[in-house]
Structure 1
Amino acid sequence: MVNIGQMNQLNIVKRTIYGLFLDGEDLGEILLPKRFVPDDFTVGEAMNVFLYLDSEDRLVATTQQPKAMVGEFAYLTLKSVETVGAFMDWGLDKDLFVHYTQQTRDVVPGEKYLVYLYLDESGRISASMRTNKYLKDMPESSPLLNQKAKILVYAKTDLGYKCVVNNEFDGLLYHSEVFENLKLGTVTDAYINKIRPDGKIDLILKNSSGDALDDIASLILEKLAANNGTLKVNDKSSSEEIAQVFQVSRKKFKTALAGLYSKRVILVTEKGIELVKK
């Protein structure tokens, strides 16, 4: 099935002075303009192209890769503001349109905003800043709990960073779980730590499973070995001190530390921790 606003594998039907015509199935033949035609091609072979309506509402193909496709969220730069709406840079020659009714506040060229891409009633690809209507709540019984997810960081609040989770759900990454410079627009991996009754998601960057705690324990031992077997940090150290050295929360550090202590691998002193001499 051929889809507007998505990447499609379409077969080359013929070459003309205007470019290549591709088999759009029920949508008919679709032009790939001459400037996008590769040097080497064979009639009948498939090409990976993106489909959209041009400025004259004609269905065309391009080999350019958009920063997002229909049905996806993206954190994009606003290029210009006009009477009927605004235009954003999304990686194609034709800018992405945001109708003024789809704007939630005054927008400024050069600033970035979270948007959701959709097809309007005319089949044109448009963007909406009214993203809450597209973000879903996650059921508390979801099998995604404790699983790795892809997140898009889009806002910073007093509690932490708001994120789009798996291009579908709304999540929050608390400041206490962040130990790096996290920029808005960052796409990275996180773990679904908790699903709240309202369907919103609490995220963590590092998994709290046994394997993750083993990783923290290994990091503690590596730091000790590199520092002549001693470190001036222990279970009484502040969250800031622990985060500076290990980039993990105080709770996880203490859990990993307790595991090493129970195995008699380390000693915990008033000044810090030490490797047990064998």
Structure 2
Amino acid sequence: MQLGKTQALQIAEKINSGWILKDEESSEKAFLPKIFIREEQEVGEYVEVFVYQDDDKLKATTEIPLAEVGEFAVMSCVQSLPSGAFMDWGIIKDLFVPYKQQKTKILEGKRYLVYIYVDEDMELITGTTKFKRNPQYEDLSFQKGDKVDLIMMNESELGWNVVINKQYIGLIYASDVFKKLYPLSEEKGYIKAIREDGKIDISLQPEGFENIDEFKQKILDRLEENYGLLYVSDKSTPEEIKDELQMSKKNFKKAIGGLYKDKIIDISDDKIKLL
């Protein structure tokens, strides 16, 4: 039975208050309270549940947590005590973050990025706000160019540290940031490079001519919003283009070049306009 993971367990027994679930590969059992039973199933059938602990007992829920063991999520603090903080992670049981696992003191009502793991000494699902910056990875589940989900962590001298697909930490270099970003916000990104040392570089925009249609559409949308006229051109500075369209000058020039070739826009020294 995988603690802190969603899995299919077999119904071993039915009692008035719920179901006893078992894992075929071990002798462990978990209790699924009646409040989470949505449809009638027979003993021996399987149900997909998330397994957690409550009062040193294994329990199951059909609720979907914000994250599982080995993942990051943004959570709100529901109670802060001297010994630690309880975080809302989307299920009936709150996640405990011990005081020693808090990078800064967690305050009630505030949101924090939390990593979930199993404490080996206590064998308990635990949260922490202390984690390595830009760690090294092996056998990643994605490759260069793949689109990924991001959680913004914090800004540094190099750029922005980010969480990738809830599981990995990567970096967006400052030179690749073309829009206003905020800690704990969610963004879409692209794998820019997986370096030999196992670190991951991220871009907020796809690279290459094969992705230029996305930038063309963004420019057309802004032109339509602005009555068919934008005061940027291939003579504009990278900063002016970034402020207006949140893209690099390189991608901007590729996109307007394609739009001009298709006779959709006209390009002047200081502006572009729809034809």
Q: Deviations over 1:154-179 (max 9, x none)?
A: 22446643211234432233566555
Deviation at 1:20, TM superposition (A): 0.8
Query: Which residue of the partner structure matches residue 129 of structure 1?
Result: 129
Provide the C-alpha distance between the structure 2 equivalents of 1:92 and 1:224, rounded to a whole number of angstroms. 45
Q: Judging changes above 3 Å, is the alpha-carbon distance between structure 1 residues 180 and 40 closer, same or farther for their aligned structure 2 residues? A: farther
Unaligned residue ranges in structure 1 (runs of 5+): none
Confirm or deny that 1:206 pairs with 2:198. Answer: no
Instruction: Tell me the percent identity.
Output: 38
Unaligned residue ranges in structure 2 (runs of 5+): none
Q: Deviations over 1:207-226 (max 9, x none)?
A: 01212223323554676688
Query: Which residue of the partner structure matches residue 97 of structure 2?
Result: 98
Contact persistence 2:235–2:270 (CA under 8 A): no
Contact persistence 2:75–2:112 (CA under 8 A): yes
- SS state of the match for residue 130, structure 1? coil
Provide the C-alpha distance between the structure 1 equivalents of 2:199 and 2:153, rounded to a whole number of angstroms. 15
Query: Which residue of the partner structure matches residue 42 of structure 2?
Result: 42
TM norm structure 1: 0.81
Provide the C-alpha distance between the structure 2 equivalents of 1:10 and 1:20, rounded to a whole number of angstroms. 11
Contact persistence 1:80–1:88 (CA under 8 A): yes
How big is the alpha-carbon RMSD for the aligned residues of Structure 1 and Structure 2? 3.2
Provide the C-alpha distance between the structure 2 equivalents of 1:240 and 1:3, rounded to a whole number of angstroms. 50
The amino acid across from 2:14 in the alignment is R
**Further displaced range: 224-233 or 73-82:** 224-233
Q: Judging changes above 3 Å, is the alpha-carbon distance between structure 1 residues 242 and 3 closer, same or farther for their aligned structure 2 residues? A: same
The amino acid across from 2:74 in the alignment is Y
Provide the C-alpha distance between the structure 2 equivalents of 1:233 and 1:194, rounded to a whole number of angstroms. 30
Provide the C-alpha distance between the structure 1 equivalents of 2:221 and 2:109, rounded to a whole number of angstroms. 44
Q: Judging changes above 3 Å, is the alpha-carbon distance between structure 1 residues 125 and 250 closer, same or farther for their aligned structure 2 residues? A: same
- SS state of the match for residue 27, structure 1? coil
Provide the C-alpha distance between the structure 1 equivalents of 2:94 and 2:274, rounded to a whole number of angstroms. 59
- How do residues 6-155 of structure 1 correspond to structure 2 at under 5 angstroms? 6-25=5-24, 26-55=26-55, 57-121=56-120, 122-132=122-132, 136-138=135-137, 144-155=143-154
**Further displaced range: 170-179 or 77-86:** 170-179
Provide the C-alpha distance between the structure 2 equivalents of 1:84 and 1:52, rounded to a whole number of angstroms. 21
Query: Which residue of the partner structure matches residue 267 of structure 2?
Result: 268
TM norm structure 2: 0.81
